[in-house]
């Protein structure tokens, strides 16, 4: 099926007389006739549900739609995008292991890896996404277990050369995880370029209305864990906490990753999305393909207007020919990138503050990628834990304004931006 059709109808096919909309299974638990029936579920010998901390039917229907959209083999929802990235990484890494990550990733993920996971004994090396193959190669260590990047980084808007990163990861016998939040599978499917695991903050375009927090993890089903069994004991040796199951043997390349993350990590950490949130996420997904076109058109119109304005020092938008990421965008994002544009005002940090205060349609919010246009100065909010040097390395200098173009008329958005720029 075409991606547009999957957005509308994927993940759930009602039978005769069943609800047209996906049912909200608002239940923590599920009833069984015998202890033996339930035992088979606990042994992962039968499919079914026993407790919504691990799995819930509504969540699984929505995960299945996202899985179909990405072209993966298995998927799960999580309570947030942060949870998705943490569980995707922690499913592969333990104390003593090492991660190679793009330096321009989302501030929350940067903190997760560089501060919180470090406390767990997991270290990381960050690389410039435009680094050479040799520089990328030099970042690996014998204990490297995974490579991580974002298709379009939030808010730096760098575009990941997915093939280059996948090639380096595979040469070192480890998988590539790509956070595909900004383009969504409507505009890019990282599995087609060699990525092994895809993550999402579904809080952004997938929900698209600023209504529900959520995340998703999708497995492309191609990484051969058993061929690198020495690196991934969690997948390739018996899990004593699960009656000695070896995930990679029992569930194969297609299912091992998500089964382990569900059976082990959700059991122990419990960050499943609520069925009500999953239902609302699905409402967003039904129009994702239509909304992405407008977000991209508005992003492009605003980027072009800003680029031509004398008070604007520079504009980051990979759709612009002036962007150093334009060639990568043509390759990986031929139908458009996203509605998020970032730019620096010639007047620096102070001009950014005046500009944002004067906007009438665009609200100041710690959010991106919903129906209403919003903007943010990362240096004074999401990235405020970073010093100027780190800000520059992360691609978010102090004067940078991130604007997430919503679904309004582009003429109204540009008129609002123009009047705010006039006030500087
Ligand atoms: C927002 C975001 C996250 C975190 O997602 P939450 O749903 O806010 O937890 C992770 N990665 C990217 C690229 C994001 O934009």
Average pLDDT, integer, range 270-296: 98
Q: What's the pLDDT score for residue 382?
A: 76
Instruction: Give tens-digit pLDDT for 19-66.
Output: 999 999 999 999 999 999 988 888 888 888 989 999 999 999 999 999
CA-based max dimension of the chain = 74
Q: What's the pLDDT score for residue 387?
A: 79
Structure tokens given for 169: 């990861």
How many angstroms separate the CA atoms of 299 and 224, rounded? 39
Mutate which of 129, 181, 182, 198 to test ligand 1's pocket (most atoms within 8 Å of Cβ)? Answer: 181
Architecture of domain 289-422: Alpha-Beta Complex (3.90)
How many angstroms separate the CA atoms of 114 and 134, rounded? 23
Q: What's the pLDDT score for residue 397?
A: 85
Q: What's the pLDDT score for residue 41?
A: 86
Instruction: Evaluate whether 10-282 and 289-422 have a shared fold.
Output: no
**Cut 0.85: pTM above it:** yes
Q: What's the pLDDT score for residue 171?
A: 98
The sign of the torsion formed by the CA atoms of 52, 56, 62, 64 equals positive
Query: Quick one: which atom of ligand 1 is closest to the CA of 179?
Result: 13
Helix runs in 139-223, H state only: 162-171, 184-187
How many angstroms separate the CA atoms of 84 and 88, rounded? 6
pLDDT bin (cut points 50, 70, 90) of residue 163 is very high
- Let me know: does 152 contact 338? Beta carbons within 8 Å: yes
How many angstroms separate the CA atoms of 67 and 86, rounded? 19
Mutate which of 154, 184, 198, 199 to test ligand 1's pocket (most atoms within 8 Å of Cβ)? Answer: 154
Over its C-alpha atoms, the chain yields an Rg (Å, rounded) of 22
Q: In the chain, helix, strand, coil percent, each to 5?
A: 45, 15, 40
Q: What's the pLDDT score for residue 339?
A: 98
Quote the percentage of the chain above a pLDDT of 90.
Answer: 87
What residue's CA is closest to ligand 1, atom 10? Answer: 81
How many angstroms separate the CA atoms of 121 and 406, rounded? 40
Chain position carrying tokens 């790509």: 178
pLDDT bin (cut points 50, 70, 90) of residue 123 is very high
Q: Which of 277, 302, 71, 272 is nearest to 180 (CA)?
A: 71
204 pocket-lining for ligand 1 (C-beta < 6 Å): yes
Average pLDDT, integer, range 259-267: 96
How many angstroms separate the CA atoms of 392 and 409, rounded? 33
pLDDT bin (cut points 50, 70, 90) of residue 118 is very high
Residue 393 has pLDDT above 90, yes or no: no
Q: For residue 203, report the distance from its CA to the centre of ligand 1, in Å.
A: 7
DSSP-assigned beta bridge partners for residue 375: 364, 403
Average pLDDT, integer, range 266-293: 97
Q: For residue 125, report the distance from its CA to the centre of ligand 1, in Å.
A: 21
Instruction: Give tens-digit pLDDT for 321-367.
Output: 999 999 999 999 999 999 999 999 999 888 988 999 999 999 998 88
Residue 125 has pLDDT above 80, yes or no: yes
Instruction: Give tens-digit pLDDT for 58-67.
Output: 999 999 999 9
Q: For residue 229, report the distance from its CA to the centre of ligand 1, in Å.
A: 31
Q: What's the pLDDT score for residue 155?
A: 85
Q: Which of 344, 333, 336, 408 is nearest to 371 (CA)?
A: 408
- Let me know: does 233 contact 246? Beta carbons within 8 Å: no
Q: Side-chain half-sphere of 348: how many Cα atoms within 13 Å? A: 1
Fold exhibited by the domain 10-282: 3.40.640
Spell out a b/e string for 44-53, using b for 16 or more CB atoms within 10 Å of the CB, else e.
Answer: beeeebebbe
Spell out a b/e string for 76-106, using b for 16 or more CB atoms within 10 Å of the CB, else e.
Answer: bbbbbbbbbbbbbbbbbbeeebbbbbbbbbb
User: If you average pLDDT over every residue of the chain, what do you get?
Assistant: 95
User: Distance between terminal CA atoms of the chain?
Assistant: 50
Q: For residue 246, report the distance from its CA to the centre of ligand 1, in Å.
A: 31
150 pocket-lining for ligand 1 (C-beta < 6 Å): yes
Q: What residue ranges do the domains of the chain occupy? A: 10-282, 289-422
Helix runs in 161-287, H state only: 162-171, 184-187, 233-236, 247-260, 267-269, 275-285
């Amino acid at each position: 099926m075409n991606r547009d059709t999957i957005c509308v109808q994927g993940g759930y096919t009602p039978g005769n007389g069943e609800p047209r909309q996906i049912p909200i299974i608002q239940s923590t638990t599920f009833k069984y006739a015998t202890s033996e029936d339930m035992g088979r579920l606990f042994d992962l010998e039968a499919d079914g549900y026993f407790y919504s901390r691990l799995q819930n039917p509504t969540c699984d229907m929505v995960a299945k739609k996202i899985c179909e959209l990405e072209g993966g083999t298995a998927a799960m929802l999580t309570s947030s995008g942060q949870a998705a990235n943490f569980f995707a990484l922690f499913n592969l890494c333990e104390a003593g292991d090492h991660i190679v990550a793009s330096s321009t990733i989302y501030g929350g993920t940067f903190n997760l890896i560089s501060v919180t996971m470090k406390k767990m004994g997991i270290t990381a090396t960050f690389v410039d996404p435009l680094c050479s193959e040799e520089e990328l190669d030099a970042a690996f260590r014998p204990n490297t277990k995974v490579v991580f990047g974002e298709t379009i980084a939030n808010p730096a808007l760098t575009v990941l050369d997915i093939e280059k990163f996948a090639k380096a990861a595979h040469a070192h016998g480890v998988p590539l995880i790509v956070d595909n939040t900004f383009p969504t599978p409507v505009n890019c499917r990282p599995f087609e370029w060699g990525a092994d695991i895809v993550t999402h903050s579904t809080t952004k375009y997938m929900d698209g209305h600023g209504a529900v927090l959520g995340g998703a993890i999708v497995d492309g089903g191609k990484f051969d864990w058993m061929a690198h069994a020495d690196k991934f004991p969690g997948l390739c040796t018996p899990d004593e906490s699960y009656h000695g199951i070896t995930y990679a043997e029992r569930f194969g390349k297609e299912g091992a990753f998500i089964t382990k993350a569900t059976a082990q990590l959700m059991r122990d950490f419990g960050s499943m999305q609520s069925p009500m949130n999953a239902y609302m996420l699905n409402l967003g997904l039904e129009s994702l393909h239509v909304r992405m076109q407008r977000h991209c058109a508005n992003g492009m119109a605003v980027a072009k207007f800003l680029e031509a304005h004398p008070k604007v020092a520079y504009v980051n938008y990979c759709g612009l020919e002036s962007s150093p990421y334009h060639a990568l965008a043509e390759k990986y994002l031929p139908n458009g990138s996203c509605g998020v544009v970032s730019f620096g005002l010639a007047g620096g940090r102070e001009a950014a503050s005046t500009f944002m205060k004067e906007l009438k349609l665009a609200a100041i919010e710690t959010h991106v990628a919903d129906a209403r246009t919003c903007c943010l100065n990362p240096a004074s909010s999401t990235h405020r834990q970073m010093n100027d040097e780190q800000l520059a390395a992360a691609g978010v200098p102090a004067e940078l304004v991130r604007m997430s173009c919503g679904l309004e008329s582009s003429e109204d958005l540009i008129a609002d931006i123009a009047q705010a720029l006039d006030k500087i």
